[in-house]
């Protein structure tokens, strides 16, 4: 018995010495601090329903005033002067599992933990202008399949912009109202989805004005943005309405590709400032979007409405294609 106690004491002392001498500056390096931030994101939401952008948490972990230490109990993240939204008092302390370090000197690789496999990442409603932003846009609804997409977005608290067809709203006003009630942006996509350059000025006015009236009647506001069907617009058409025209910088071509992995591959080419074109009526689009959102949120990407992107990136032109940059998140 005494031999067993002595052996355990040696092991315990050895572990404590390992923790004491652990080079904690490694925990603030890019890869490890991001993983710890991901784990902290999920823990805060689980414990207090807080949703904090992963990059905000990573920046907090890397801050000089934040102490990160390794003990037998886990990775301790602590700040005695915390002014962040997730701190209920000036002091903050949270302990994360040692498995998030991914260091075999502490934990066997068989016990390493991956935050992406352990919970759902959600969108932080509080935006940071210097973080990566993308606008997800969906055309041609509302249709019954739209509601499945809306449920996917709701799970992660992600907001998008829907360009709705007037005739579809007219026949399914409850669906359209549900989109707005969940905080999504709605734009005009004409009444019957025509090729605008082929119409007369009066026909264009009819398409736009009737859809505006339908949106105002059923949803309670007049939209300030529109997307021309097929992206087709000409100079003469611009005199028929005053809306801002929203095109795109990344087209998933989801009407042509019927494999969600192909669409996901295109989505993964996205960068800061992108306006991404999709359609809400395709199940393969839903599958790709669900995976895409989850991974991007785990990296701190912010999904915003088109109008939020325009405001944050100070876009002035009437026709908006997005503003692609290589901004680091």
Reported as a single tens digit per residue, the pLDDT across 270-319 is 999 999 999 999 999 999 999 999 999 999 999 999 999 999 999 999 99
What sign does the CA torsion over 257, 261, 266, 270 have?
positive
CB neighbour class for 88 (10 Å; exposed up to 12, middle 13-18, buried from 19): exposed
Give the residue carrying structure tokens 């989109």: 179
From the candidates 124, 139, 272, 280, give the one annotated as an active-site residue: 139
Reported as a single tens digit per residue, the pLDDT across 106-148 is 899 999 999 999 889 999 999 999 999 999 999 999 999 999 9
**pTM over cut 0.85:** yes
Q: Which residues fall within 8 angstroms of residue 304, CB to CB, at 6 or more apart? A: 127, 133, 134, 135, 159, 312
Asked about 286 being catalytic, the answer comes back as no
Q: Which residues fall within 8 angstroms of residue 218, CB to CB, at 6 or more apart? A: 169, 170, 173, 176, 177
From the candidates 41, 184, 257, 279, give the one annotated as an active-site residue: 279
Per-residue tokens: 237: 């058409």
Residues of the chain with pLDDT under 50: 1-12, 329
Per-residue tokens: 243: 């809306």
Spatial distance between the Cα atoms of 262 and 249, rounded to a whole number of angstroms? 18
All domains in the chain, ordered by first residue: 2-117 (no CATH), 133-320 (3.20.20.370)
Pairing label, strands 133-141, 275-279: parallel
Query: Percentage helix, strand, coil, to 5, in the chain?
Result: 45, 15, 40
Per-residue tokens: 206: 């009819």
- Please tell me the predicted confidence (pLDDT) of residue 11: 46
Give the residue carrying structure tokens 């925990």: 27
Per-residue tokens: 146: 């739209």
Nearest 10 degrees: Cα torsion 99, 104, 106, 111? 30
- Please tell me the predicted confidence (pLDDT) of residue 105: 87
Pairing label, strands 74-79, 67-71: antiparallel
Check: CB of residue 187 under 8 Å from CB of residue 162.
yes
Asked about 279 being catalytic, the answer comes back as yes
- Please tell me the predicted confidence (pLDDT) of residue 190: 98
Spatial distance between the Cα atoms of 94 and 143, rounded to a whole number of angstroms? 45
Spatial distance between the Cα atoms of 199 and 3, rounded to a whole number of angstroms? 92
- Please tell me the predicted confidence (pLDDT) of residue 328: 55
């Amino acid at each position: 018995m005494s031999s067993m106690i002595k052996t355990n004491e040696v092991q315990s002392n050895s572990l404590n010495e390992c923790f004491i001498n652990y080079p904690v500056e490694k925990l603030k390096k890019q890869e490890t601090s991001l993983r710890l931030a991901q784990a902290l994101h999920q823990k805060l939401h689980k414990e207090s329903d807080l949703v904090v952008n992963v990059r905000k948490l990573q920046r907090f972990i890397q801050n000089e005033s934040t102490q990160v230490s390794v003990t037998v109990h886990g990775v301790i993240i602590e700040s005695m002067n915390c002014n962040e939204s997730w701190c209920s008092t000036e002091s903050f302390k949270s302990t994360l599992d040692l498995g998030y370090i991914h260091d075999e000197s502490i934990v066997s690789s068989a016990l390493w933990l991956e935050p992406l496999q352990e919970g759902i990442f959600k969108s932080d409603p509080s935006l940071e202008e210097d973080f990566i932003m993308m606008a997800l846009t969906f055309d041609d609804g509302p249709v019954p399949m739209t509601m499945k997409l809306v449920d996917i977005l709701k799970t992660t608290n992600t907001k998008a912009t829907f360009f709705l067809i007037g005739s579809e709203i007219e026949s399914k006003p409850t669906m359209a109202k549900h989109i707005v009630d969940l905080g999504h942006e709605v734009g005009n996509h004409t009444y019957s989805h025509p090729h605008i350059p082929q119409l007369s000025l009066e026909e264009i006015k009819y398409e736009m004005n009737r859809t505006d009236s339908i949106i105002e009647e059923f949803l309670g506001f007049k939209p300030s943005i529109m997307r021309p069907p097929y992206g087709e617009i000409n100079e003469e058409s611009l005199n028929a309405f005053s809306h801002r025209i929203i095109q795109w910088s990344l087209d998933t071509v989801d009407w042509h590709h019927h494999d969600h992995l192909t669409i996901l591959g295109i989505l993964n080419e996205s960068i800061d400032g992108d306006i991404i074109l999709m359609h809400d009526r395709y199940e393969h689009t839903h599958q790709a979007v669900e995976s895409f959102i989850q991974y991007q949120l785990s990296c701190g990407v912010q999904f915003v409405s088109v109008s939020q992107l325009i405001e944050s990136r100070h876009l002035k032109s009437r026709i908006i294609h997005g503003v692609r940059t290589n901004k680091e998140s």
